[in-house]
Homo-oligomer: A and B are copies of this chain.
Amino acid sequence: MSVLIVGSTALDTIATPKARRERLLGGSASHAAAAASFFAPTRMVGVVGDDFPKAHLNLFRKKGIDLEGLQRVPGKTFHWEGEYETNMNRRRTLKTELGVFEQFRPDLPPAYKRTPYVLLANIAPDLQLHVLKQAEQPRFVLADTMDLWLETAMADLKRVLRRADAICLNDTEARRLGEEENLIRAARRIHRLGPQWVIVKKGEHGALLSGPNGLFLCPAYPLDKVVDPTGAGDSFAGALIGWMSARRGRPEKVLPKAMLYGAVTASFCCEGFGLTKTAAVGREQIEERLRRLKAMIRL
C-alpha cells in the first residue's frame, strides 16, 4: 500500500565538530520519504523554489518517490543552517530562511487523497490539519512534531493529536507536551490528548512505544561513528510507516518491528551528511543491519 508524506523540503547547511557542508538535501519530508521508499510506494508533498538543484530531484526520482505533490514555485527553497556540539547530541539553529515555504499550502493531488498510510512529518500543525481535511479515510495517521510548535501552536497541535492514530516526538518534547518529567507518565498524559500510540524518540538511546498493549522498548542501532544526525528522527518515522504500509496488519502487531526498521534506517542516515548515506544503501543492507540489531536484543 502507498504512503503519503507531507513535510518540509529544504536545503541544509550543517556544521559538525569535524566538517561543514552547504545546501545539502534536507527537510522532514525529504528524509522521511527517502526512508519510506525502501519499503513502499511513496508520495511526497512539499515545496521547493527555483534554486532547488536538479540533482536533488533526481535523487527522489532514483528512489522511486512520486513527486506529483512536490510543488515547484518561483523563489528560494527553505534553508536551514545548524551546528552540532562535540558529542552530537545537541545542536543549535544558526539560520532559518523560510523562502517559498512561507506561502506553502499542502494541497493534495486528487490521486493522493485516498492514500491509506499518512505521515504528517514535522511542519506547522495548521498545515498538518490542512492535510487531514483532504485525506479520505486514511487507515493510519502518524504525526511528527517539534519543540517550536509546542511553544507557538499548541492549540492546532492538539487538534492534530485528536485526529492522529500515533504521535512521534522526542523525549524533551514528550516531557513538555505531557507536562511530566517522567517519560512513562508523560506518555500516559499524551494518550489523553488523543493518539492511541505514543512514540518517544530518545536518539542514541532508542525509542519507546506506548499503546493499548503496553510498552515496547526499541533500541537504537549502535553506531561507532556518527557523521550527521540531522533527519534521523524523520528517517525513523518514514521507515516505520513505510514498513507498516508494506506489511499491512494491525498496528499492535506490526508497530514493534516497524520501529526496529525505523531504528536501522535512521542509523544509516546518521552515517553521512544529509541524505548521502541513505541514498547509497539498498534494502539488503537494511535487512542485514536489522538481523544484527535483532541479535543484540535476543536472549
Q: With A and B bound together, what is the CA distance between A72 and B223 in angstroms?
A: 48
Contact yes or no, B296 A217, CB < 8 A: yes
When distances are taken between beta carbons in the complex, the residues of chain B under 8 Å from A296 are: 214-217
Q: By CB atoms of chain B within 10 A, which of A205, A214, A217, A225 has the most?
A: A217
The residues of B that contact A205 with a CB separation of less than 8 Å are 202, 205-206
Interface secondary structure of A, over-half rule: mixed
The reply to whether the CB of A256 lies closer than 8 angstroms to some CB of chain B is yes
Question: Interface-forming stretch among A4-12, A47-55, A177-185?
Answer: A177-185
This chain's copy number in the assembly: 2
Checking B87, B217, B222, B257 against A184 with a beta-carbon cut-off of 8 angstroms, the contacting residue is B222
Residues from chain B with Cβ under 8 Å of A185 in the complex: 224-225
8 Å CB contact of A294 from B182, B208, B223, B299? B299
Query: Interface readout for A212-228 with B: 1 if CB under 8 Å, 0 if not?
Result: 00111101001111100
Give every chain B residue within 8 A of A181 (Cβ-Cβ): 86-87
Closest to A89 in B: B181
Known: A205-B202, A217-B219. A225 touches B182 (CB 8 A): yes
One digit per residue, 1 when the CB lies within 8 angstroms of any chain B CB and 0 when it does not, for chain A 187-225 equals 010000000000000100110100000111101001111
Measured CB to CB, the closest approach of chain B to A126, in angstroms, equals 33
0 or 1 for each of A243-285: is its CB under 8 Å from B? (1 = yes):
0000000000000110010000000000000000000000000
Bound CA span A181–B88, Å: 10
A263 to chain B, nearest CB (A): 11
Residues 70-99 of A at the B interface (beta carbon under 8 Å): 86-87
Bound complex: CA A295 to CA B252 (Å): 13
Contact (Cβ within 8 A) B226 A222: no
Bound together, the chains give a CA A182 to CA B89 distance in angstroms of: 11
Residues of B within 8 A of A183 (CB): 222
Assembly CA distance A257 to B87 (angstroms): 31
Flag whether A297 is at the interface (Cβ < 8 A): yes
Check B226–A182 contact: CB distance below 8 A. yes
Chain A residues in contact with chain B, CB under 8 A? 86-87, 181-185, 188, 202, 205-206, 208, 214-217, 219, 222-226, 256-257, 260, 292, 294-299
Nearest 8 CB-CB pairings of A with B: A205-B205, A184-B224, A217-B219, A217-B296, A215-B296, A185-B224, A184-B222, A256-B299
24 contacts between A and B (CB under 8 A): A87-B181, A182-B224, A183-B222, A184-B223, A184-B224, A185-B224, A185-B225, A188-B224, A202-B205, A205-B205, A206-B217, A206-B219, A208-B222, A214-B292, A214-B295, A215-B222, A216-B296, A217-B219, A217-B222, A217-B296, A217-B297, A219-B219, A256-B298, A297-B297
Known: A182-B225, A214-B292, A297-B297. 8 other contacts (CB 8 A): A87-B181, A184-B223, A185-B225, A205-B205, A205-B206, A214-B296, A215-B296, A216-B296
